């Protein structure tokens, strides 16, 4: 039975534009980095990236592959109707299609979207208080995070309307009783926001578990700190400065994502 479940993936390098290939490499790296940080849910959840130069096309993970198996060539390119643009032996997760097609259709300013089901994210998504401004990571999202009510497993395209309505112009959203979602004008921005949102959720649970009164900064300080946190993001459309460092990290660990 050795090799019975092996995956043969033809390389797409040289068969797509240089811009698309680089986008594929970056997105495959993002899947590996998310796996490295332990934010995965077996083969579920998804990160999408708009194809450069083609607003209605985006890349999504092949359904059935672990995040540490995803490569640049294995990513599935689909349109906003969920149809494959390039032939692929893989299918996509329906929930991934519903969530990400809603975002890419409605938010032309968004290039990348990351959705996770981490323990901390799901726990905070189940708390009526929502995300509390208890840490610097959380204060970044003060008065700047959206909430989407739970409507069941996200399989019905009709839910796209409420997702977009609840999201508005925000770049982060907590899907109640579900998980976390961050967006970015580039992949690095979406990842950095998810890193901070995940850390904020973990910190909140730890602080609440301490059993002592929680200290929340004043309204004035919260607004000031939140504004300061977004200064590096303002007017930024190129890659977030943290991303090259993350790519170098994954290249040291396992560069096979580049194939």
- Break the chain into its structural domains and give their ranges: 18-250
Between 193 and 94, name the one with better pLDDT.
193
pLDDT confidence of residue 233:
54
Per-residue model confidence as pLDDT tens digits over 53-79: 998 999 999 999 999 999 999 999 999
For the segment 83-92, what is each residue's pLDDT rounded down to a tens digit? 999 989 899 9
Q: How far apart are CA 110 and CA 91, in angstroms?
A: 24
Model pLDDT for residues 155-197, shown as the tens digit of each residue: 788 898 999 999 999 999 999 999 999 999 999 999 999 999 9
Min mean pLDDT across 108-112, 238-242, 247-251 is at 238-242
Quick one: pLDDT at residue 232? 57
| Tokens 């059935």 -> residue | 64
CATH entry, 18-250, from 1.10.3720.10, 3.40.640.10, 3.30.530.20, 3.40.225.10: 3.40.225.10
Q: How far apart are CA 185 and CA 244, in angstroms?
A: 16
The stretch 30-47 carries a mean pLDDT of 95
Instruction: Report pTM.
Output: 0.93
Query: Mean of the pLDDT values across residues 195-215?
Result: 96
Tell me: pLDDT of 1 over 50.
Answer: no
Among 133-142, 169-178, 227-236, 238-247, whose mean pLDDT is lowest? 227-236
Does the pLDDT at position 5 exceed 70?
A: no
């Amino acid at each position: 039975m050795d090799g019975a479940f092996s995956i043969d993936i033809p390389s797409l390098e040289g068969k797509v534009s240089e811009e698309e290939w680089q986008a594929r490499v970056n997105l495959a790296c993002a899947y590996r980095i998310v796996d490295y940080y332990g934010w995965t849910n077996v083969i579920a959840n998804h990160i999408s990236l708009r194809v450069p130069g083609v607003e209605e096309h985006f890349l999504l993970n092949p359904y059935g592959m672990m995040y540490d198996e995803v490569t640049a060539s294995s990513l599935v390119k689909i349109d906003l109707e969920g149809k494959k643009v390039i032939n692929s032996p893989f299918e996509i997760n329906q929930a991934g299609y519903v969530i990400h097609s809603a975002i890419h259709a409605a938010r032309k300013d968004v290039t990348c979207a990351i959705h996770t089901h981490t323990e901390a994210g799901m726990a905070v998504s189940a708390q009526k208080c929502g995300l509390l401004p208890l840490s610097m990571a959380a204060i970044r999202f003060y008065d700047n995070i959206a909430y989407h009510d739970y409507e069941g497993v996200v399989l019905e395209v009709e839910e796209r309307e409420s997702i977009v309505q609840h999201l508005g112009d925000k770049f982060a959203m907590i899907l109640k009783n579900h998980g976390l979602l961050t967006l970015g004008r580039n992949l690095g921005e979406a990842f950095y926001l998810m890193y901070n949102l995940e850390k904020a959720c973990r910190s909140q649970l730890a602080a609440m578990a301490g059993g002592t009164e929680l200290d929340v900064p004043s309204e004035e300080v919260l607004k000031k700190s939140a504004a300061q946190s977004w200064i590096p993001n303002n007017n930024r459309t190129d890659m977030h400065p943290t991303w090259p460092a993350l790519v170098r990290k994954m290249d040291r660990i396992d560069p096979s994502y580049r194939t």
